[in-house]
Chains A and B, each alone.
Chain A
Amino acid sequence: MTTTNDTQNKMTETEKMLLWYRVNQFYNQEARALDEEDYETWFSMLSDDVHYWMPGRESLFRKDEKEETPASNMNHYNENLQSLQLRVARLHSGAAWAEDPRTRYRHLITNVEVEPSDTEGEISVRSNTLVYRNRLEREEFWLLAKREDILRVTEGTFQVAKRKITPDFSCLLSKNLNVFL
């Protein structure tokens, strides 16, 4: 059986560059969808069985650091496609007073590293994200996080099958987290 690992090991530098380029294009399109609150497009970029997870973080002594799981933690997000859709339904309810006027979003995706995955048809991608939010008169918030994705290769493009977002904050410095990363 040919694994992705073998496949990627056999890839030429040019093929790796092409894959990296395609992943970047995918992330740029995703960032635009999120910036523009185009959630129908965003949902089409997620697999039906997506696991979208963002644990809360705490300041711990190094000796007390442990690999977290969704069950061991308080999470900002621990979502499947249905629960993500429910969250978006709030925004589309016509009654999300605190989203009108709209929040101005900007997602920047950088430091993209494509790695082989253990599963055929999937690749493992790490990236950094910088999300800017600006709201009303002077509200301004920056969020930085690491993203660890499993992307599924489908019909020449990708879908996010898993995403773990590790935020660089322990205390969120704003009144809410009205954004996906």
Chain B
Amino acid sequence: MSQIEELKSMVDLQHGRIDRRIFWEDWIYQLELEKLFAKSWLFVAHESQVKNTGDFITTYMGQDNVIVSRHKDGQIHVFTNSCTHRGNRICFADRGQARQFTCNYHGWAFGTDGALMGMHEENHYDGFIDKAKHGLQNARVETYKGLVFACFDDDAPNLEEFLGDFRWYLDVILDQTEEGTEFLGGCIKNMYNANWKFGAENFVGDSLHVGWTHASGAKAVSLGGEVPEYMPVDPESFHANANGHGWEGGTDGVGTLELISSGNPRLVEYFESEREKMAKRLGELRARKLYGSVISATVFPNFSFLPGINTMRTWLPKGPRQFELRAWTMVNKNMPDDIREIVQNACAMTFSPSGIFEMDDGENWENSTVSNEGVVTRKQSLHYGLRAGTSHRNDPELPGNISKPMYSDVNQLAFYQRWMDYLSAESWDDIPKVR
């Protein structure tokens, strides 16, 4: 059996079975880096993080460290953070302001567009180097309503096509107001000894873990009272997926807002007062029923968010059994200060390493990964069969592939289908443009 054939046998969409080796094997991880992370569009920043000329952040595309930088031409550039001379990293800060990036080793200096500008003792290089050919490798950069994505593959379809029908869902958080969104300052980072896909698949569709894994958090926010029905079995709740991206959740319009309010009515009141304006931009369904509900979502492959709590995060792979989570809080630019503060504190309280919800996720993901060190255990395939095969594309209101209610593995399977599309492809012709 060829490697690709072996790989293809590991995801059984029809029966909803997943082979545990995809969470463990080094060779599969190397394929992910080569065929997924080096080819797919990846979230790298929010425009607000690189607002002014010279603003930069550093992040990862797969395991490639990159600089995201606002050049003097006004464009955002994304390029590899590794000197073209000896390969040393050229920028060691997480974010900041720079006129150029100068390598510590021999003083090679690169512009905020990645071009090689010069070096220490440059006269010695006369006749020995073509500087124009020694810039840093730039990725393609495109934005969608404030979110900056980059892609290392020239032949990949454009970002709009990559996001496809999922833009309709992204707009629920990105397009509520004319002024748009921004990230609050700072970034929370932490490590998990787990496969990165457990984070991504959890946010893409795992409605069912909420009531169980997070029972402790739900009981806490009720402050001794009855645990509210944050996750009622809402028959209209749904899984929606498009091109491997997924959105799962309810339609009550308030579940998340109440969950993060801790009894303070201000947040819910604020959004109720905004709904009419939101509805003019997004329509009644998205403004009143989707926004505010308990929802999680993943943009394939590794960018996830929670509408309402507005934690935005990337699951950065560090090997098959380790990933780094980087998380930010997003707000609407026109939000008053007290609402910003509520949202910011809600992120820390709920979904951050110290958060009363997120705290319980890590142990699950780490042990779902490490269990596979056992060779007998690793051979047992996993059940991903809940409502397998039930999605359809003809919902009158919701774009993409839809399955109701949300207690389902439909989005997870769509995520792994897309994952398999990339990993098993010989060329872009093998990857369906729309899934």
Contact = CB atoms under 8 A, between A and B. Distances in A.
A59 B92 contact: yes
B48 interface: no
Nearest to B347: A74
A171 B353 contact: no
B431 interface: no
A21 to B, nearest CB: 32
Interface string B327-349: 11100000001001100110111
A76 B353 contact: yes
Given A74-B327, A83-B262, A172-B191, A60 B349 contact: no
A104 interface: no
B185 A172 contact: no
B356 A72 contact: no
Interface residues of A, number: 41
A55 B186 contact: yes
Interface stretch (B16-24, B27-35, B110-118, B210-218): B210-218
Interface stretch (B120-128, B234-242, B243-251, B357-365): B357-365
Contacts of A117: none
Contact of A176 (B97, B185, B328, B358): B358
A136 to B, nearest CB: 9
A173 B191 contact: yes
A48 B359 CA distance: 26
A91 B192 CA distance: 21
B96 A97 contact: no
A94 B93 CA distance: 42
B191 A174 contact: yes
A172 B353 contact: yes
Interface in A98-126: 98-99
B189 interface: yes
A1 interface: no
Interface in A35-74: 54-56, 58-61, 63-64, 68, 71-74
Interface residues of B, number: 52
B216 A95 contact: yes
Given A87-B349, A95-B216, A95-B219, A71 B354 contact: no
B366 interface: yes
- The residue among A83, A171, A175 with the most chain B CB atoms within 10 A of its own CB is A175
A58 B356 contact: no
A95 B359 CA distance: 13
B187 interface: yes
Contact of A76 (B329, B354, B356, B366): B354
A89 interface: yes
Contacts of B98: 61
B223 interface: yes
A175 B363 contact: yes
Contacts of A56: 186-189
A64 B93 contact: yes
Contact of A90 (B92, B220, B341): B220
A75 B191 contact: no
Given A74-B348, A83-B349, A86-B221, A171 B95 contact: no
A132 interface: no
A171 B364 CA distance: 20
A60 B94 contact: yes
B224 interface: yes
Interface string A11-50: 0000000000000000000000000000000000000000
B175 interface: no
B362 A176 contact: yes
A71 to B, nearest CB: 7
Given A90-B217, A98-B362, A176-B362, 11 more contacts: A54-B354, A56-B186, A71-B340, A74-B352, A90-B216, A93-B216, A95-B219, A97-B215, A172-B189, A177-B353, A178-B359
9 contacts: A61-B96, A74-B348, A74-B352, A76-B348, A78-B345, A87-B220, A96-B360, A176-B353, A176-B358
Interface of A: 54-56, 58-61, 63-64, 68, 71-78, 82-83, 86-87, 89-91, 93-99, 170-178
